[in-house]
Structure 1
């Protein structure tokens, strides 16, 4: 993506850097003026969703990123439950503060082995950016692009992006949308859709880093995780799936019974945890069967005994990538100046399995002209 000064132009750059408290702060303490800028010639802003229950979600159209989610704890105090930055300058500075905080990922979430894929009989070499693999759409994936934003109402934001043929090596001109809706039962409902003019592959997701503890400056390993999955796809030391599907039973990957992360995240005798310094793996969801996902059943949940905040995940996707922020601890000051440590949060990314374009027996990410890609995930918050 290059240097920040090549991204942010004109007066918007000054606004992003020099803005102070504008008196129009969000519930999460964000200043919309700190997101008011222009990147690659396109307008960037901060959009706020609110419901009658008092929940608030802030999203920027730069990368389609969820910047903050404010929900009540058991004492009815509002808590921001996602990691991120409080200004567009840091989000856009991929050199000094790189992150995928809260992003709407495309074209292909997760990894494709060596960036090589065959689509409609033709071989393609995708741009690589992670241990020689293509990760999250490549080095200039959608998390680094500006979506066109339409705020439909106080509770709904629609983001649209047009990805040209050859974008990071992917074939086909793709038009994709991400619709974020905040419902009255404190659910952030996310719908991803796409069409193409040439056979291609699509795998979108939201990449929020959830921290329910109320203290993102400390590890969140006391959070209790549940994943409704009997199997997972192991990976090698480059985080690439080996092509196997293994049972979780008898391993630290078994979260069919809710348990705190600290019970297993440090078990380096288990090679999968040692390689990843925690969890960065795809679970094969029990909620997906015979080519269809049941987004009415709980796919996963996360709970903080400290705040009582309970998060449930519902999706139609076959897989869930659970990532425990193993690369945090960089010393970078983030929202409100807080420096996030390793394992401060958990990502719950609903998606196709990693490298599924190269595994024909796995659920397919192929999208053809005349078809519509559809992916749904809902993050429901409550108190226990």
Structure 2
């Protein structure tokens, strides 16, 4: 590791050091990520002669660690795995073998368990002027999942002001996998709220869920839940739903800020886009630059497979076989309207 853009961000309780890494494109767009959780801590977009940091986050490693102890950890900017979303009753069966997972959300497993990929130290494997590649090896049995899994995530800035996110993974034993990225966006700036922003989702269907946010196995019209954004609408607190993306060749969603004209478009090769509005830190932690995050601070676009797919035979398969390679591709584009 070298260069002035690689800086010490903090030290974990066990003494391991965490570094931050900065990349820029030719337009000055800048992304900063840290080794811990492969977290994107800052994303500055050119806006009308200035730069706007459009993602929520913290200034220190200590606050990222403290946020994991909040009643509802926000997972700001993190790589999520081994399995994004919930797995019901913290177990699944694969090839006749039942695997019991760590429990961290009522009786269920959320975002990989008590020590998911957002809570581990990744290794910066490769850095260029416009890209960062982090890797992590998850041991066989970690959080209860079978197989030693090697996973990579690459963040790339393009010259048209996009962030290209590419995951890949291989395993030495058949397993299940579902990776995503958990950045919270606010196009007016991370200290603002979402009231001046317009959300459009290229879907009018979502997964029906029970009281614990576990899919029932059924699909329902988004309008029945007051979540139809197919013609646009203002994001509101309470959105925590998986929208079915049937056409991966078109934009899954767009977010437009009416105040500064910045627009974000989300493309993905995944079958669902889980959208979550929030950012609340329960008055216990301040965000970057002393920001007080709340229930309308940011919106997540979690491109992924369906939650609980390992327990739902009608859902797209989440199985990764030995000898195969898992890939996942998401693109965030930013433009001035």
Structures share fold, TM-score greater than 0.5: yes
1:301 is aligned, of 254, 258, 275, to: 254
User: 5 Å matches for 1:42-53?
Assistant: 42-53=16-27
* 2:274 is the alignment partner of 1:321: yes
Give the match for residue 214 of structure 2: 240
Q: State whether structure 2 residue 34 is matched by structure 1 residue 60.
A: yes
For 1:92 and 1:246, the matched residues in 2 are separated by 37
Q: Aligned with 1:220: secondary structure?
A: coil
Give the whole-Å Cα distance in 2 for the aligned partners of 1:40 and 1:112: 30
Aligned to 1:356: 309
Q: In the alignment, is residue 284 of structure 1 matched against residue 237 of structure 2?
A: no
1:218·1:341 contact (CA, 8 Å) conserved in 2?
no
Distance 2:102 2:225 in 1: 35
User: Shift in Å at residue 41 of structure 1?
Assistant: 5.3
Point out the more displaced range, 368-377 or 319-328: 319-328
Select the structure that is richer in strand: 2
Please state if 1:116 is matched with 2:82: no
Structure 1 outlier segments of 4+, above 6 Å: none
Question: Counterpart of 1:376?
Answer: 329
Query: In structure 1, what is the Cα distance between the partners aligned to 2:110 and 2:196?
Result: 29
Please give the per-residue CA displacement for 1:6-43, whole angstroms capped at 9, x wherever unaligned. xxxxxxxxxxxxxxxxxx7x8xxxx944x043564544
- The whole-number CA distance in structure 2 between the counterparts of 1:318 and 1:343 is 26
Indicate the residue corresponding to 2:105 in structure 1. Answer: 130
**Within 5 Å, which residues of 2 pair with 1:215-254?**
216-249=190-223, 251-254=225-228
Q: Give the alignment partner of residue 154 of structure 1, picking from 129, 139, 144.
A: 129
Give CA deviations for 1:255-310 in whole Å, capped at 9, x if unaligned: 1112222xxx3xxxxxxxxxxx51101000122xxxxxx3x421111111112110
Tell me which residue corresponds to 2:144: 169
Quote the Cα distance in structure 1 between the aligned partners of 2:293 and 2:148.
38
Aligned length: 332
CA distance in structure 2 between the partners assigned to 1:184 and 1:298 by the alignment: 19
In structure 2, the residue corresponding to 1:324 is in which secondary structure? strand
How far apart, in 1, do the equivalents of 2:195 and 2:84 lie?
25
Alpha-carbon deviations, 1:300-349, whole Å to 9, x = none? Answer: 11111112110000100000000001645534211011111211110000
Q: Which stretches in structure 1 are left out of the alignment for 5+ residues?
A: 1-23, 266-276, 288-293
For 1:328 and 1:306, the matched residues in 2 are separated by: 25
Deviation at 1:152, TM superposition (A): 2.5
Shifted more, 55-64 versus 146-155: the winner is 146-155
Correspondence for 2:65 = 92
TM (norm. structure 2) is: 0.93
Secondary structure at the counterpart of residue 114 of structure 1 = helix
Per the alignment, in what secondary structure is the counterpart of residue 259 of structure 1?
Answer: coil
Deviations 1:214-248 (A, max 9, x none): 2x444313321111113101222222222221122
Contact 2:10-2:62 at 8 Å conserved across structures: no
Distance in 1 of aligned mates of 2:125 and 2:276: 30
